[in-house]
Structure 1
Amino acid sequence: MTSAVLISPPMDGSAGRRLGVRHLQASLMALTSLVAYSLRANLSVAVVAMVRTPSNSSGETAAGEDGADMDEFGVGGARVFAWEEWQRGWLLSAFFWGYTLSQIPGGTLSHRLGGARLLKFVITSTSIATLAFPLCAEYGGWMAVFANRVVQGVTQGPLYPSMYTLLGVWVPPQERESFTTLIMAMQLLGPTLASPVCGFMAARWGWPSIFYAFGSAGLVVGGLLIWLASDKPALDPRISSEELAYIETCLKTSEESSKKVAPRTPWLSVLTSPCMWVLWINMSVQAMSFFILLTTIPTYLSSVLGFSIQENGLLTSLPYLMGFLASYVFMGLANFINSRKLLSTTNSRKFFNAIAGIPISLCVVATGYVSTATMSVVLICLSMSFFGSTIVGVQANYLDIAPLYCGPIYSVGNMMAALLGVAAPIVVGSIVTDPVRTRGNIL
């Protein structure tokens, strides 16, 4: 497999110590990741308010779209639907159907056209689709909102392949843990902030306000990307000659930076590499657990543990907050290990991948068997905390193996993970056909 040849950075290291344009690019990617994951996760909370279940139904119902019954109106005059549990599961999985389809094309396009160009399209188009979600629900019913979420998935599919393409050309090796954590930890901070906000907005103004607010925020971020984001260091007019030399020397990319067309991805070498398959499978298995938690925590807290919509929003945010904070603890530990050369880069990645494995499984399984709601929430928080170690494990490993082809290679692993994201809520919806705790324990 082709990989970048790394040599030592400049002796004085001044460009490496100063804040520069690469930090601006990383901050833009982090902000985009924050908003994009909020857009992805907001339905998990909104569905608690927009779908009537036996535990929260009241009043007379009338026949509605798709043959389902429907409450007349909820908070803020918003329509409340009486969809079946399987419909809820399919709706929560709809995003991942589209997300899966656009992974490989997104990774390829980001590599050929530039990560920043695609990132601008991703956040803008996803935000527009989010703004249209309430209208789809009002006038099109279940089929329309399902299609809307598929479209959101398609448009957001190139998100992380684009970011990894940018990381591969902007970030020196010695800064990979820090930059990767800054960006990927937003997957956890997004739901942390979005969940209580969604819960408050749904209780105060009705569930449609969630999509209007977050869709508008996404358009603002899209505007910032159009203004400030750049595909490569050599193409950014704001970068200093010292910082450009620092990045190109660390990555030895001066020749590649001058090329208008990116080199073709060596797919044969990639697909026949055992280490790549181990990386992809590892990422997929970890993602399965994460997606189950992402899509089902609000429903579990509402239907099984009996929390209100506002309590639900606050409690849903706690696991992600724990994961976000833990990711920086793991980043500090990884930087300490690498700076002291206590482990090789390969063994360091393996160490943090191991931390993310068994403890998560034990916590998730134990959640179904504890006797109190408090212990259930504590165990969910602990399980999400260990996900922080995946950022300096499997997530950073892509940059180690082939930074020049990071976007396309990451898209394969993300596609495999997204396939499990499709399955997760469907499986949950099939098993949990009524809000009974013992039925949920099957998971």
Structure 2
Amino acid sequence: MLADYFGGKIVFAVGIFVSSLLSILTPASAWAGDYVLFANRVAQGLVQEWMYGGMVISMAATGALCATSVRWPLTFYVFGGVGLLWCLPWWLLAADSPALHRNIDPAERRYIEATIQSSAKQKLPVPWRSLLSTPAIWALVVYLMASDITLYLLLSSLPLYIADILHFDVESNGILSSVPQITGAVGNLLFGWLVDFIYRKGYVSKISGFRIINGIGLLGPAVALVVVALVGCDSAAIVALLAFGGFCMAAHCSAFYMNMQAIAPNFAGTLVGFVNTFANISGIIVPYVVGAVTNENPTRASWNLVFYMTAAVAAAGYVLYAVFTTAEEQPWNVPSTENEATAKNDKGVVNTAFDADDSLFNSRRSRL
């Protein structure tokens, strides 16, 4: 909602700055006491909600940083410092729109502003009653909760599994824990291209594309976790399966957020925040469930139970999503006054370049 009202530049800058500062203060918070550390982590969660960290580098580097003489505090000092250094160039170089960009080429700015008009309207009142009563919104909530359960399992519990079951040291643990994120980065690029390609070629409808790509993003990791439970202690196979799961998980980034944008482009920021609020409950649930199952009995059998439960949740979440999702813009996305104005417009074209081309075509046709 803050991004909808104030733009992404300042919201993102504040998030990174405060999060980085709190990261540097994390060791001091830990030494000050459990409650101080807890408050620090809560604050970091609040300011990090609107961004997605560089997990590939951080997970791989954490093990190496923990192995130094400074040990675990060094990780917070390094990543917090990098974040603070990032804030200056971001503030100087980023802008919320072409009109506000200091260094944009004038010709480029004119082209963008003349051809692409944003469909999003600023500062519209959020139609909460309509939003909350739309089944497709809750389908998105269920999907992302199921997806995040798998994600948080890999983020928070995978290092424990690697240490307890596969018996790797802390440096190797950090590298192996980053494998799903590395393959996920590759998957982000590939699936982003794939989604554009299949839509551009018209191979599938928009709703079918959402179901297929999001199915890969949720069911792929579920299958990988089931097979991990079946291969025993074959470390190479387990690492390969985790890599496959991370690769598939990246698929939903190319379709899931497009799905939210398609439903309500005028309230995209609010909708992302709403869905993510529920999804982040997974970050609370997963460590407790994993701890309850494995703490007293850290065996392969207990971890297999965790993997089976996670896969079952993912499968159920996808079924509910596939049944109730939609690719249609919801009526409440545009206020009634603007609907009336649109009805008076014969074409209703957002892209003025296309509008101009269409007018040119009509004039040529009339002459013929």
TM-score range, shorter chain: 0.7 to 0.9
Q: Helix, strand or coil for the counterpart of 2:154? A: helix
Q: Helix, strand or coil for the counterpart of 2:5? A: helix
Distance 1:401 1:248, change over 3 A: farther
Cα distance per residue 1:13-60 (max 9 Å; x no partner) = xxxxxxxxxxxxxxxxxxxxxxxxxxxxxxxxxxxxxxxxxxxxxxxx
Structure 1 residue 156 displacement after superposition: 1.4
2:58 to 194, 199, 203: 194
**Which residue of 1 is the match for residue 336 of structure 2?**
none
**Which residue of 2 is the match for residue 409 of structure 1?**
271
1:226 to 85, 91, 94: 91
Which amino acid in the other structure matches residue 284 of structure 1?
M
1:137 to 23, 30, 42: 30
**Is 1:436 aligned to residue 299 of structure 2?**
yes
**Which residue of 2 is the match for residue 379 of structure 1?**
241
Structure 1 residue 118 displacement after superposition: 1.3
Structure 1 residue 374 displacement after superposition: 2.1
**Is 1:262 aligned to residue 123 of structure 2?**
yes
Distance 1:414 1:255, change over 3 A: closer
Structure 1 residue 111 displacement after superposition: 1.6
Unaligned runs of 5+ in 2: 307-368
CA distance in 2, matches of 1:254, 1:357: 30
Structure 1 residue 249 displacement after superposition: 5.1
Structure 1 residue 280 displacement after superposition: 2.4
Aligned residues: 303
Structure 1 residue 246 displacement after superposition: 4.3
Which amino acid in the other structure matches residue 294 of structure 1?
L
Cα distance per residue 1:334-382 (max 9 Å; x no partner) = 1221221212223222210111232221211232332222222222111
TM-score when normalising by structure 1? 0.64
**Which residue of 1 is the match for residue 171 of structure 2?**
310
CA distance in 2, matches of 1:344, 1:246: 30
Which amino acid in the other structure matches residue 220 of structure 1?
L
Which amino acid in the other structure matches residue 98 of structure 2?
P
Q: Helix, strand or coil for the counterpart of 1:368? A: helix
Which amino acid in the other structure matches residue 414 of structure 1?
N
**Is 1:150 aligned to residue 45 of structure 2?**
no
**Which residue of 1 is the match for residue 287 of structure 2?**
425
Cα distance per residue 1:227-253 (max 9 Å; x no partner) = 222233333233345444444455534
Distance 1:404 1:241, change over 3 A: farther
CA distance in 2, matches of 1:156, 1:341: 37
Which amino acid in the other structure matches residue 216 of structure 1?
G
Moved more, 380-389 or 339-348: 339-348
Select the structure with the greater relative contact order (CA < 8 A; seq sep ≥ 6). 1
Asked if the contact 1:248/1:254 (under 8 Å) is kept, the reply is: no
1:217 to 71, 79, 82: 82
**Which residue of 2 is the match for residue 348 of structure 1?**
209
Asked if the contact 1:351/1:393 (under 8 Å) is kept, the reply is: no
**Is 1:365 aligned to residue 226 of structure 2?**
yes
**Which residue of 2 is the match for residue 286 of structure 1?**
147
CA distance in 1, matches of 2:106, 2:129: 37
CA distance in 1, matches of 2:215, 2:204: 14
Asked if the contact 2:120/2:266 (under 8 Å) is kept, the reply is: no
Structure 1 residue 144 displacement after superposition: 2.9
Structure 1 residue 332 displacement after superposition: 2.1
CA distance in 2, matches of 1:236, 1:121: 19
Cα distance per residue 1:195-245 (max 9 Å; x no partner) = 221111111231111000000001012222222222333332333454444
Which amino acid in the other structure matches residue 41 of structure 2?
R
Asked if the contact 1:201/1:209 (under 8 Å) is kept, the reply is: yes
Asked if the contact 1:200/1:313 (under 8 Å) is kept, the reply is: yes
**Which residue of 2 is the match for residue 325 of structure 1?**
186
TM-score when normalising by structure 2? 0.76
Asked if the contact 1:327/1:391 (under 8 Å) is kept, the reply is: yes
Aligned residues with identical type, % of pairs:
28
CA distance in 1, matches of 2:114, 2:152: 39
Asked if the contact 2:227/2:241 (under 8 Å) is kept, the reply is: yes
